[in-house]
Amino acid sequence: MNALDSSHRETASLTDIATPFGMVRLVWQDENIVKVALGPYQPESILPVVLLGLPSHARGRRLVAAFLAYFRGEQVVFPCPLPESEGTEFQRTVWRALARIPYGTCQGYGELAGGLGMPSGSARAAGSACARNPLPVIYPCHRVVAATGALTGFGAGLAWKAALLELEGVPLDRARMQVTRMR
């Protein structure tokens, strides 16, 4: 799992969590999370567990506990601000909007854009911002789908996106990789 780019290597610490869908790596700078990396989709019947690097700071332990609860299927609110150095103002606006999409629901890219006051036809711009989200799951870009309900555009792959939506109780037609009910 290559979660470290050159901007995070020097002072970063890592937390690796085994989940029922594969590894999740949390990358920290000091006491702040700067990246969530989802490893290859490798489903297993396991309970989520920390394999490496439980943070020594309280903020980190709370966030890890929230991840463990989420991957046990519990609805959680992640106690985590966006990294200050990440994204343009537009991207940060989209990422904050992702946090307002309720657990267990989906929203279309166009609907997301419209909710931000963007002109019609701005779905691609919203999708592009989602693709650059440094904190997937925390800022749940997996809850954004095509207007038809089709699963599209998730950095870790559509299998991860489908698994996260199913974990949240979103009904899917796996054969078509499509949400069967948007809300």
Spans of the chain, pLDDT less than 50: 2-8
Q: What's this model's pTM, rounded to 2 decimal places?
A: 0.90
- Identify the pLDDT of residue 119: 87
Domains of the chain and CATH, by start: 12-71 (no CATH), 89-179 (1.10.10.10)
Q: Model confidence over 66-80: pLDDT tens digits?
A: 999 999 999 999 978
Q: Model confidence over 33-85: pLDDT tens digits?
A: 999 999 999 999 999 999 999 999 999 999 999 999 999 999 999 978 999 88
- Identify the pLDDT of residue 6: 42
DSSP letter string, the chain: -----TTTTTTEEEEEEEETTEEEEEEEETTEEEEEEE------S---EEEE---SSHHHHHHHHHHHHHHTT-------PPPTTSS-HHHHHHHHHHTTSPTT--EEHHHHHHHTTPPTT-HHHHHHHHHT-SSTTTS-GGGEE-TTSB----TT-HHHHHHHHHHTT--EETTTTEES---
- Identify the pLDDT of residue 182: 63
- The answer to whether residue 130 is catalytic is no
- Identify the pLDDT of residue 150: 93
